[in-house]
Amino acid sequence: MTLAEYCGRWLAVRTGRLAPNSIRAYASALRHHVLPALGALELEEITQPVVRGWIADQLLRQRPVNSIKSAIGTLSTILTDALIDGLVLHNAAHGAARRLLADNRIQTPKAMTPHELDAFLLAARTLGSHWASDAFYVYSRTGLRLGELLALQKRSILANEEALRVDQQYHGGKFGFGPPKGGKARLVEVPRKCLAVLLGRAAQLETAGTFLFPGATLHLPIHPGTVEWAFDQAAGIAQLPEHFTVHSLRHTYASILIASGAPPAWVQQQLGHANYQITVDLYGSWLRQRRPDLLAVLDQEPARHGIARVERAKVIPLRQRR
C-alpha cells in the first residue's frame, strides 16, 4: 500500500472524529507538502533517511519552517497509526528532523504595536465593506478566535454584564459550526466602546439568532477565507509587515493587556485557554511589571555605626593572641 492510499483511508476514518480545523490542517499538509514527494512510495519504503532527505529538500526550497514542522507532525501522526495497524515496523518520521530544523521552543507570537493596530483599523475603514471595519475592531478588542467572532449572534451580547457569551465557533463551508476550542462556553468581558459597536450591529438584526457578521445568504456568517482576504487588503494599505495574519489581532489583544499589567489568569479566561500555563508560555515575554519599590532596596546603604565600631576596635596581632 502506498502512503497516498493509506492517507486517503486515514482521513476518511477521522473525518467526523476530529475538529474540522484539525482535518483541514492535516489535509492541507498532506496535499501541499507530504504527498507530492512521498505519496507514491510504499509504506515500507518510507525510512528515516528518506524522510530526512525530504525535510532537507523542503529547506532547500525555502519553505516556511512552521509549515515543514506541521507537515512532519502530520506524517508522524499517520505513520504512528500505520505502525499500530501493523503496516510498518517503525515510525520513520519520529526524530527525523533532529538537527535539521531550528529548536522547537515556543516562539513569540506576532503581535502588532498599538500604533500598528491603529493604522490597520484605520485602513480597514477604507475597504468600503459594510462589515470589515466593525469585525476587525471587535476582533482586536475581544481577543476571540476567528471562528468564535464569526459565530456571534444577537443573543451572544449580554449588555447588562458588558460581556459576550461565546458558546460556538464557525469553521466555514461544509464544516459548519462546533463548540469553542476546549469544548467549553465562556463569558468574555467587553470594553464599552466595543459593546456600543456590537449593540449597533445587533440593532439592525431582526431575530436573536441572526449573526452579527452575516454572509451573502444571511443564514450563515461570512466565510473565514473572506475575512482573511480582507485582512490582507487592510494590512497592505497600512503597510504592515507581511508576517502578520488575521490571528495576529488576537495576539495583539493579549500582548497589550499583559504589557499594561493585566493579570495573566484573567487574560487566560478572556482568551479561553485551557490552562494558565498556555497563556504564560505564549505571552510571557510581555509579563513586565515595574517594581521601583523592590529596586529601591538595592540603593539602601548599610548602617554605618557598626563599621565605625570595627574601625575603633583595637586590632590585636595574631602573635600576641597566642
Q: What is the mean pLDDT of residues 176-204?
A: 91
Q: Of residues 108 and 133, which shows the higher confidence score?
A: 133
Q: Is the pTM of this model over 0.75?
A: no
Indicate whether 108 pLDDT > 60. no
CA gap 207, 24 in Å, rounded:
32
Q: What is the mean pLDDT of residues 122-143?
A: 92
Sign of the alpha-carbon dihedral angle for 228, 33, 73, 281: negative
The tens digit of pLDDT for each residue in 213-246 reads 988 777 889 888 888 889 989 999 999 988 888 8
Residue bearing cell 565605625: 308
Q: What is the SS3 assignment for 100?
A: coil
Sign of the alpha-carbon dihedral angle for 199, 201, 206, 212: negative
Q: What is the mean pLDDT of residues 206-210?
A: 79
Strands of 232-290, DSSP E: none
CA gap 310, 290 in Å, rounded:
38
Query: Which has the minimum average pLDDT: 12-16, 85-89, 188-192, 283-287?
Result: 283-287
The torsion angle over the Cα atoms of residues 77, 78, 81 and 85, rounded to 10 degrees, is -160
The tens digit of pLDDT for each residue in 160-177 reads 999 999 999 998 766 688
pLDDT of residue 149: 95
Sign of the alpha-carbon dihedral angle for 168, 8, 80, 93: negative
Q: Considering only CA atoms, which of 177, 155, 160 is closest in space to residue 168?
A: 177
The structural domains of the chain, ordered by start, are 3-84 (1.10.150), 114-284 (1.10.443.10)
